[in-house]
Amino acid sequence: MPESSILRRWASRIRTDDRAAYTDYVRRTGVSDYGATIGNLGFQMLLRDLGDGTTEVVTLSWWTSIEAIKAFAGEDHERARYYPGDDRYLLEKPEGVEHSDVVIDGM
């Protein structure tokens, strides 16, 4: 990773029974968008079962700059980006995302 980068974090919940279908759906939507955006340094999707029939979903993506994030998310880069099929899976759609400066990278 470059000396300075920005981490973008988004989180929501899905039904645990939808884990496989949602993962496949994200592979067909978000993965191609992340990878096609200049300035994206990588991304991950994390799943954590909460034990109540729901699973937390967290996406982490690393970027070279706010301008690169805007190329992916739009001018209002603090807002979450959603796809038309998200309503099928997401139990909540938070409006915002978190951005953090990466100051130490152990990779």
Answer whether 55's CB lies under 8 Å from 15's CB. Answer: yes
- The full set of domains in the chain, from first to last, is 5-102 (3.30.70.100)
Assign residue 74 a region (left: φ > 0; alpha: ψ between -120 and 50; beta: otherwise). Answer: left
Q: What is the pTM of this model?
A: 0.90
Give residues with Cβ within 8 angstroms of 4, minimum separation 6.
Answer: 101, 102, 103
Residue-level pLDDT, tens digit, the chain, 107 residues: 556 899 999 999 999 999 999 999 999 988 888 888 999 999 999 999 999 999 999 999 999 999 999 999 999 999 999 999 999 999 999 999 999 999 988 76
